[in-house]
Structure 1
Amino acid sequence: MGYRLSDAARAAGHRLHVYDRLGSTNTEALEKARGGETGPLWIVAHRQEAGRGRRGNGWSSLPGNLTASVLWPVAGVEPERVATLSFVAAVALAEAIDRAYTGARATDGPALGLKWPNDVLLGGAKLAGILLEAETLPGGRRAVVIGFGVNVAAVPAEMASRAASLAGSGIAVDAEGLLEHLTDRLAATARVWNRGRNFSEIRGLWLARASGLGSPIAVRAGIETLNGIFDQIDEGGRLVILAPDGMRRTVTAGEVHFGTAATAA
């Protein structure tokens, strides 16, 4: 059937470019921005050969998995609100998977969780990653790209013990069908977000699915590790930890561990 946008996404002005192979869908989207494109423009590749994740990590893309990026317009968005788009994207992806699941099975939805700052978990294992990248272009125009990597059909061998796929969990949806659901839900959650003016509602939706909320957490940033209880995310999307001394500490970036992994960190 091929990749396609939802009716709601098309009505909201989204467009779609599909490629057989790309090095990186995020890189291609940024190249489009440098050429004057403003978006919303989706870039999808059947095969991605040089994908990347957060903190310089690579992202393996297997046949049948979803590799997609969207160049998102941020004119009029306050700079400090741009980063909250990653939470908009995470909520949209979780809702898209819910829809794919209920379309395949008339049962309760899968055990999805959102892990700060950018992962979607299924049964506690990593199902998807989201990468937000921004660039200031000549003339001061900002380009922001949201990248999605979802294990739809398979899990990379190097992640077999700590990752999950939709197919492996009995969710019968292909990458094409999932993209259609995702474009629909991102159009909807972006309307709620309202250029960052209503992040509080997105924050509530994200927290309702938050993995490890209220549990022991350890965040490694460089050579430092901060331990405590995962308390919440604040209005800027920063992680808030209740430290052993009773003080709340705010984290902007780091590697997160929960439960027994947190106590051992």
Structure 2
Amino acid sequence: MLKTNDTKKKVLKILMEKEKNLISGSELSSLLNVSRQTIWKTIESLREEGFYIESVPHQGYRLLDKNEADLSPTWIELELEDVAWGHPILYWESLDSTQEPAKSLARQGASEGVVVISREQKAGRGRLGRTWLSPEEGSISLSVLTRPNIDPSLLQLLSLSTAIAVHDSLKELFNIDLELKWPNDVLFRGAKLCGILIEASSEPGKVHYAVIGVGINANLSPQILRSVDKPTTSLKAILGKDVHRGKIIATLIRKLEKEVKNLEKNEGITECIQKYSKLCSTLGMKVKVEQNDQFTVGTATGISPLGNLIVKMEDGSTSTFAAADITHLKMSEAQ
């Protein structure tokens, strides 16, 4: 597991400000008031995060390339210097699921805002126990520990708030138009780009913690996408180029904190429902609802104040669903 510290952040910041110019170890030592040995260890640690830092004998260090460090916890924390969340960022090369260490930290009393990221998930999962593809190269897999001051009945709204944060982050960075599929998917032209999983511990009247898991198909290749049995896409497929995953993570954490904190305000719940409803492609659609191995068909008409889906059934009755599996139906399927 890799994480940063104040010295690593200061050294990286100086190297980036110098761009490709050399700075001596003694100058770094003097600037940061630490030993030369500490500087050397810090440089080695930054290299572990993927930074290409050249050492020139008797002259010093210079940062030549940071493209391979797009999941660097040090870089991401620097991007979040003015944000409460994202400290620390904890990075693993491989995990079964980022949810597990995040939940473990929550049970140990860790403060909210801790972020767990992994280059690869061996057993990534989504809602209803489904598998989430998280290969070693190209995916974004993260979990955020939150302790929202909301009633447990409102936990569904965390999925909606997270979907909004993902939508707004990718819109800001890449100017792409995405749609939200209730309750936890982000789609591009009907193909899945992102999935969200909320796992929480609560008691009546109090949420102890909620871990928000987000998986984004960032730089997945066409070959990997073709191996999925449902319409799936990636940012690389949409944009025709690789994206910097650290920039996405930093932007998402910033917006996610804002959205979750807004739920703690009286007007925040209404704002969340209204914004989500405008972005939700499920609304107005004929949908197949699967719940407890039972299938029904109707038209999705709205989102309840608790974040549940309101569906007008074919017999004219109205039902509200909190945890159903929803399929958008094409006209031919709806008939």
Bigger mean CA deviation after superposition, 89-98 or 253-262: 253-262
Name the structure where helix makes up a greater proportion of residues.
2
Instruction: State how far apart, in whole Å, the 2-side matches of 1:6 and 1:183 are.
Output: 13
Equivalent position to 2:234, from 157, 160, 165 = 165
Q: State the match for 2:184 in structure 1.
A: 118
**5 Å matches for 1:244-263?**
244-260=314-330, 263=333
Alignment: residue pair count: 255
Q: Secondary structure at the residue paired with 1:51?
A: coil
| Residue 65 of structure 1 pairs with residue 135 of structure 2 | no
What RMSD, in angstroms, separates the aligned Cα atoms of the two structures?
2.4
**5 Å matches for 1:29-108?**
29-62=102-135, 63-74=137-148, 76-101=149-174
Are the aligned partners of 2:179 and 2:281 in contact in 1 as well (CA < 8 Å)?
yes
Q: Secondary structure at the residue paired with 2:273?
A: helix
Are the aligned partners of 2:112 and 2:145 in contact in 1 as well (CA < 8 Å)?
yes
Are the aligned partners of 2:182 and 2:282 in contact in 1 as well (CA < 8 Å)?
no
C-alpha deviation, 1:245, in angstroms: 2.8
Bigger mean CA deviation after superposition, 158-167 or 115-124: 158-167
Letter in 2 for 1:233: I
TM-score (norm 1): 0.87
Once superposed, which parts of structure 1, at least 4 consecutive aligned residues long, lie more than 6 Å away? none
Question: CA separation of 1:158/1:195 partners in 2, compared to 1, >3 Å: closer, same or farther?
Answer: farther
| Residue 181 of structure 1 pairs with residue 251 of structure 2 | yes
Any stretches of 5+ residues in structure 1 without a counterpart? 102-108
Deviations 1:56-106 (A, max 9, x none): 1111102121000001013x32111122111111100011111120xxxxx
Question: CA separation of 1:251/1:6 partners in 2, compared to 1, >3 Å: closer, same or farther?
Answer: farther
Question: CA separation of 1:188/1:239 partners in 2, compared to 1, >3 Å: closer, same or farther?
Answer: same
C-alpha deviation, 1:223, in angstroms: 2.5
Q: Tell me which of the two structures has the higher relative contact order, counting C-alpha pairs closer than 8 angstroms and 6 or more residues apart.
A: 1
Instruction: State how far apart, in whole Å, the 2-side matches of 1:166 and 1:26 are.
Output: 23
Sequence identity of aligned pairs in percent? 27
C-alpha deviation, 1:34, in angstroms: 1.8
Letter in 1 for 2:201: E
Question: CA separation of 1:180/1:160 partners in 2, compared to 1, >3 Å: closer, same or farther?
Answer: farther
Bigger mean CA deviation after superposition, 118-127 or 39-48: 39-48
